Structure 1
Amino acid sequence: MDVARRQDSGSAPLTTAACTAFARRRSALACLALAGGLLATAAGAQTPPLAPASQGVFGALDHGLRPTTLAADAPLPGWSLRERMAFHHVPGVAIAVIRDGQVVQASGFGLREAGSNDAVDADTMFSVGSVSKVVTAATTLRQVAAGKLDLDRDVNSYLRSWKVPDAPAFSQDTLTLRMLMSHTSGLTVWGFEDYLPGAKLPTIVQTLDGVAPAKNDPVRIDFEPGSRMRYSGGGVTVEQLVLEDTTRKPLEAIARGAVFAPLAMRRSSYLNPLPATLGNIAKAHDKDGNLTALPRGWEAFPEQAASGLWTSANDLGAFVGALLRSYRGQDDFLPQSLAQQMMSEVSPSIHGLGPRLEGEGQTRIFHHGGSNDSYRAWIEGYLETGDGLVILTNGSNGSKLMMEIRNALSDALGRGVNPPLRTLALPPAAVSGFAGSYRLDTTVPKDLAGNLSGAFESDVLDVAVSDASVSVQDKGSPPMKLQALTPTRFIGPGDISQMRFEFVRDARGEVHSLMVARGNAQAWFRREPAQAATQ
């Protein structure tokens, strides 16, 4: 195994005493979602070397970082990890690469704390935001495999300390774990705010009911379960309570027995706030690369299942590898049939039982990102080949950097999953007929809309054109600037699972519809007649 990793004597595994102490604290939580970078900082920190991992796939980190979209005639930029960490003001990064279900390279780059000499290594603990949901899903599926939980049973039959409130407005308001894990439950609350050091943390029931000190609205059903997809950290919090109420243990203990210990993930924890005694922790940094969340240096994430996992590149790489091997029938971490359910879309979602999914054949992948205030994380697995990657960052500007790293590693793995998208510069005349309002065509079968069924707040999209720039605005949301792939086909913002927009012209040259697609889903918006008549 070619693993480039630094050892740190401060990397203490979690102890039984720590877990016991947490269990006691959990009673108060009702037993519970760059400047210093690789460069020398103003404080004189020594530049940690990039060299130990610049072999194999990691060679791409010297010259292969790139954006997701490029102008048609633009050369690949060939950025290095070093220069992009400095550009994005992200002090520290940890990366793991998986080949054939095994971690083959893992290393840290940059600093745990800007202005210090504390280098990141492959065992440095990072907050991973919503990547927590995938580890929680695996914890739940281990319980399902053991016959202790059923994916399709009413979750209220498991819950003891709280119940999902009835939603009599809908003909069917029964929720299942399958719905919670695939974001088809109809539950509210997309995500959660972080908590600074010293802030009082809510119990899980306070979070579900939206009661102070929780910062979120109550978690409630507001559309018929199973009818649409809407991402819901609130739903994953209900999943956490199912685990805790059925085992009478905190999530930390459940995950340690079901996932962390079997996979030797000794640097992983749902403890919040994370104890400083664990050592080798990547501290939080703001958009300018400055230390934040003081005096401790990191926030707390009491919604543990949804966003509260702390882990390392080595540990998360081992986890991704175990999922890949299970899917391919090479490991009994999960039974193959259950792993394949985990990695199959639950209609109408782009999610399976936890991960997001896309592609087919050798481009069939699962992935999930994580985004807390000061940390960004990414996991990705190539289901047919057993390859994969993990990226962890400790800066609030980490999202763009993370995707540039992802592009480099994916290119180096050679699977053709995400080649650069080449965009066009169109003359104003090419887009002059696009402006107007487009209303959702409700006669198109809902099943065709799939994962787009919950993507828009209203039934009307407003298209604006300025010179040759085209933007689409949903009610109450900022305009989305589109990039042209052809004279009529455009791509929305983002780096993963972007929406595609196509303006449909008829034989008379008139634009009468706007088709929006994401994966296998399509939603059709017809141009308002009054708008069409005035063009």
Structure 2
Amino acid sequence: MKLAVFLMFLTLAGCSTTDDPPTLTRLDGSVLTAPALDARIQRLVDTAGVTGLTVTVFNQDTVAYQRAFGYASAVTGDSLRVDHGFYGASLSKAVFGYLVAQLAEEGIIDLDRPLQDYLDVAIPELEFEKEWRGFHNLAGDERYRDITARMCLSHTSGLPNWRWISRTGEFQPEGELYLYFDPGTAYSYSGEGMQLLQYVVEEITGKGLEQLARERVFDPLGMEMSSYLWQDRFEGNYCHGHTTDQGVIPKDVADESAAAGSMETTPVEYARFLEHILTLSREGSPVTGRMFEPGMRIRTKRQFGPGALETTDANDDIQLSYGLGWGILQSPYGKGVFKEGHGEGFQHYSILFPEAGTGILLMSNSDNAESIFKEVLEVAIGDTFTPWAWENYLPYDHHQPTSR
């Protein structure tokens, strides 16, 4: 009897893991401890002058690690938290892509039907409360009649990113809108295309974007601190954006919903959305099937700036393309689906590998953050597939010999 008790004690002692640090599994199956990842990220944040950064890692379709580093404000010195409100920038487009994919699956919108078919007036004649948002410059260019929802979501509509910015990134004070190319024939990132599709979706459904998002995304997922419009409840719980020299940027609040980039959210809640997407993908949902269907192959040297007009085969090995509001690449671990966000003082990136149940979400309130994205992706989940040069995620020490 005493021997049996002794043996049971040894067994329980050998199985005890209460003092072991949690571990994370990378894409290749290798593991690292959470404290080790903490240390690597903190070093990068400090060295590159990143004001604040949150990192969320997904293993087996769920959050396995979530930490905040740095400050919510460089002036007050308040620590950044994972429940702080962030300007979501173009992460807004990923949520919108999911919303439209739902509508398409329900037969409410046909992704390949010209948007003009859903409207009673010509697109150049549409009226907006803010006149400058209109598409009147397209009058006389009948190609606008060919634009579809799929083209808007996959950035092949031919419209510019924003009417005040040229395709090479130069400011255009006249703000004239025009088509760069025949719709559906090339890739060129376009917030204007998203805004056009938003208008049509609101016309088809008779509901505003915020109402649709609340009904179909935010409320079902318990995303109370997420919205395409600024809400009074966000006061006192948000972080400030910061310039490269740690200057604090005054908070800008959205007074109208914009599918292309007005969403406020928190790392906790956006991670909840990504968990949902991973789960749907694992279950073989036709909605994520639509979202992540690769479209036109992307062969531009850069996503933005002068390099966007140059071609390259550098990303052919990952078959870089775009789906419905999400970028798509191929890896040895299956499809990778990603979405970035970039606004003044805020830089974000997320990538999911649904077949592996692995992913990462990076949300930062610093204009220096993208300079460490490449290394964080590699260290945290073993992602060496994100096209960091195409994204212009140039490492902070890229001009120096690496010590690794």
Pairwise same-fold verdict (TM > 0.5) = yes
Match of 2:278 among 324, 347, 352: 324
User: More helix per residue: 1 or 2?
Assistant: 2
For 2:271, the aligned partner's letter is G
The aligned residue for residue 127 of structure 1 is 87
Change in Cα spacing, 1:394 to 1:145, as seen in structure 2 (3 Å) is: same
Query: 5+ unaligned residues in a row in structure 2: which ranges?
Result: 1-20, 26-31, 125-134, 166-171, 299-320, 395-404
Question: Per the alignment, in what secondary structure is the counterpart of residue 50 of structure 2?
Answer: coil
Question: Per the alignment, in what secondary structure is the counterpart of residue 379 of structure 1?
Answer: strand
For 1:81, the aligned partner's letter is I
Match of 2:337 among 366, 370, 393: 366
The aligned residue for residue 41 of structure 2 is 81
- Is 1:176 aligned with 2:144? no
Root-mean-square deviation (CA, aligned residues, Å) is 3.3
The aligned residue for residue 380 of structure 2 is 409
Change in Cα spacing, 1:276 to 1:215, as seen in structure 2 (3 Å) is: farther
- How many angstroms apart in 2 are the aligned matches of 1:97 and 1:127? 20
Query: 5+ unaligned residues in a row in structure 1: which ranges?
Result: 1-53, 66-78, 194-213, 331-335, 422-490, 497-535
Change in Cα spacing, 1:248 to 1:310, as seen in structure 2 (3 Å) is: same
Match of 1:56 among 20, 23, 34: 23
Question: Per the alignment, in what secondary structure is the counterpart of residue 306 of structure 1?
Answer: coil
The aligned residue for residue 517 of structure 1 is none
For the 8 Å contact 2:370–2:393, the answer to whether it is kept is no
**Normalised by the size of structure 2, how large is the TM-score?**
0.71
**Normalised by the size of structure 1, how large is the TM-score?**
0.55
Match of 2:109 among 149, 154, 176: 149
For the 8 Å contact 2:143–2:183, the answer to whether it is kept is no
- How many angstroms apart in 2 are the aligned matches of 1:232 and 1:351? 12
For the 8 Å contact 2:114–2:145, the answer to whether it is kept is no
Structure with more contact order per residue of length (Cα contacts < 8 Å, sep ≥ 6): 2
For the 8 Å contact 2:347–2:364, the answer to whether it is kept is yes
For 2:338, the aligned partner's letter is H
For the 8 Å contact 2:337–2:352, the answer to whether it is kept is yes
The aligned residue for residue 266 of structure 1 is 224
The aligned residue for residue 281 of structure 1 is 238
- How many angstroms apart in 1 are the aligned matches of 2:70 and 2:77? 9
The aligned residue for residue 36 of structure 1 is none
For the 8 Å contact 2:156–2:188, the answer to whether it is kept is yes
- How many angstroms apart in 2 are the aligned matches of 1:492 and 1:142? 30
Structure 1 position 326, deviation (Å): 1.6
The aligned residue for residue 90 of structure 1 is 50
The aligned residue for residue 233 of structure 1 is 191
274-283 or 252-261, which moves further after superposition? 274-283
For the 8 Å contact 1:112–1:283, the answer to whether it is kept is yes
Question: Per the alignment, in what secondary structure is the counterpart of residue 289 of structure 2?
Answer: helix
Match of 2:259 among 305, 310, 316: 305
Change in Cα spacing, 1:169 to 1:143, as seen in structure 2 (3 Å) is: closer
Question: Per the alignment, in what secondary structure is the counterpart of residue 231 of structure 1?
Answer: coil
- How many angstroms apart in 2 are the aligned matches of 1:135 and 1:96? 18
- How many angstroms apart in 2 are the aligned matches of 1:137 and 1:281? 25
For 2:211, the aligned partner's letter is A
Question: Per the alignment, in what secondary structure is the counterpart of residue 279 of structure 1?
Answer: coil
For 1:288, the aligned partner's letter is D
- How many angstroms apart in 2 are the aligned matches of 1:419 and 1:373? 23
Structure 1 position 238, deviation (Å): 0.9
For the 8 Å contact 1:151–1:177, the answer to whether it is kept is yes
Change in Cα spacing, 1:149 to 1:419, as seen in structure 2 (3 Å) is: closer
Question: Per the alignment, in what secondary structure is the counterpart of residue 367 of structure 1?
Answer: strand
The aligned residue for residue 109 of structure 1 is 69
Structure 1 position 117, deviation (Å): 4.9
The aligned residue for residue 368 of structure 2 is 397
**Which digits, 9 at most, give the CA deviation of each residue in 1:379-431, with x for residues without a partner?**
110021121111100011121133332222122xxxx644999xxxxxxxxxx
- Is 1:247 aligned with 2:205? yes
Structure 1 position 105, deviation (Å): 2.6
Question: Per the alignment, in what secondary structure is the counterpart of residue 93 of structure 1?
Answer: strand
Question: Per the alignment, in what secondary structure is the counterpart of residue 402 of structure 1?
Answer: helix
Percent of residue pairs identical: 24
Question: Per the alignment, in what secondary structure is the counterpart of residue 305 of structure 1?
Answer: coil
